[in-house]
Amino acid sequence: MNVEPNRSFDLRAYLSIRRARIDATLESYLALEEPRALYEAMRYSLLAGGKRLRPILCLAACELAGARAEIALPTACAIEMIHTMSLIHDDLPAMDDGDYRRGRLTNHKMHGEALAILAGDSLLAHSFELIARRTVGVPAQRTLAVIAELGRAAGPRGLAGGQVEDLAHEGKYGVGVDVLEDIHTRKTGALLEAAVLSGAILGGADALTTARLRRYAQRLGLAFQIVDDILDLTSTCEAVGKNVGKDASARKATYPSVLGLAESRRHVEMLIEHAMSDLACFGDRATPLVALAASLAQSL
Ligand code: GRG
């Protein structure tokens, strides 16, 4: 079924309210402690802005499932910590070797490699502690299911495994779309999917709702990484707040390098259309998630 975004919904205002709530909560969850240098390095990247897409998805999925967004706030913030860890590690010299991220110097450029690695490790560990300690008002089984979902997304079947595959294919010719899809699904899609699923689990979604949200998130996650690949070719460091053109110089396998720009854009549009259709049966309850998907296609 074709789904049109609700034109009276003000996505910009919605995002800005949600971002402010997430930013304030992140700040309150990570006060400066000892060792000060470590906390400073963690806060440097975590509180540097960022679109906060994953926590926003988590809260929206929780509401779609019929619960208050507030109960998913600790998990949403924990997901942003896991995401920030992955950005810090991704930028390290042993990986993508980036100089800029979120509009400022990368963590290791500012704090040194050792602290950057430890700041990433600490954010990852802290995220799970946060979920276990701060989640209230939901049955403990749901919290456990969320921890399992996020552990899977961060590990060898998700972020870490996807990154290994990504690095292994650098500089290789003839990488097929199926391989590329697998890398993107793990490296980027897994955490987006886990963000949506965690919100749904905490909100008490039934099996059908969970299945539809999972498909939506998988399509959105893949589209998101293809857009990221396209912007690496077509955008500027000022516009995206991080180095661009790195995929081509590292001869990375990306959708634009395998399919070309025009076909990659068509692929994004198709994925987004299907992602929006996945939510058609939820009507107005899906308005924010539909609008978020539509805005991704418009960002090209
Ligand atoms: C150590 C367990 C462990 C895992 C780390 C480094 C790594 C393994 C994975 C890399 C994952 C990665 C950085 C994928 C790219 C995903 C992506 C498109 C990031 C950009 O996300 P945005 O645009 O960034 O949401 P902001 O800054 O807005 O949050």
d(CA 65, CA 132): 21
Nearest CA to ligand 1 atom 15: 188
d(CA 84, CA 274): 28
Q: Please give the C-alpha separations between residue 239 and each of 10, 220, 236, 295, 297, in angstroms, as whole numbers.
A: 23, 22, 5, 17, 17
**Rg for the chain (alpha carbons), in Å?**
18
| Residue 128 confidence (pLDDT) | 98
Considering only CA atoms, which of 218, 209, 230 is closest in space to residue 282?
A: 209
- 224 φ/ψ angles, rounded to the nearest 5 degrees: -60, -45
Nearest CA to ligand 1 atom 7: 86
Q: How confident is the model over 192-206, as pLDDT tens digits?
A: 999 999 999 999 999
Q: How confident is the model over 184-240, as pLDDT tens digits?
A: 999 999 999 999 999 999 999 999 999 999 999 999 999 999 999 999 999 999 999
92 DSSP 8-state letter: S
| Residue 126 confidence (pLDDT) | 98
- Matching residue, tokens 């589209």: 223
- Matching residue, tokens 């700041």: 119
Considering only CA atoms, which of 256, 113, 91, 95 is closest in space to residue 168?
A: 95
Q: What is the per-residue burial (b if ≥16 Cβ within 10 Å, else e) of 90-106?
A: bbbeeebebebbbeebb
Decide if 256 contacts 264 (C-beta within 8 A): yes
70 DSSP 8-state letter: G
173 pLDDT more than 80 = no
Query: Does the predicted model carry a pTM greater than 0.95?
Result: yes
1 pLDDT more than 70 = no
Q: How confident is the model over 249-281, as pLDDT tens digits?
A: 888 889 998 999 999 999 999 999 999 999 999
Cβ neighbours of 159 (radius 10 Å) = 26
Collapsed DSSP state (helix, strand, coil) of residue 243: coil
Task: Give residue 2 CA to ligand 1 midpoint distance, Å.
Answer: 31
Is residue 187 in contact with ligand 1, taking CB distance under 6 Å?
yes
Q: Which pLDDT band, with edges at 50, 70 and 90, does 6 fall under?
A: confident
Collapsed DSSP state (helix, strand, coil) of residue 159: helix
| Residue 210 confidence (pLDDT) | 98
d(CA 42, CA 30): 8
Pocket test for ligand 1, best of 126, 163, 229, 246 (most atoms within 8 A of CB): 163
Task: Give residue 140 CA to ligand 1 midpoint distance, Å.
Answer: 29
Is residue 54 in contact with ligand 1, taking CB distance under 6 Å?
no
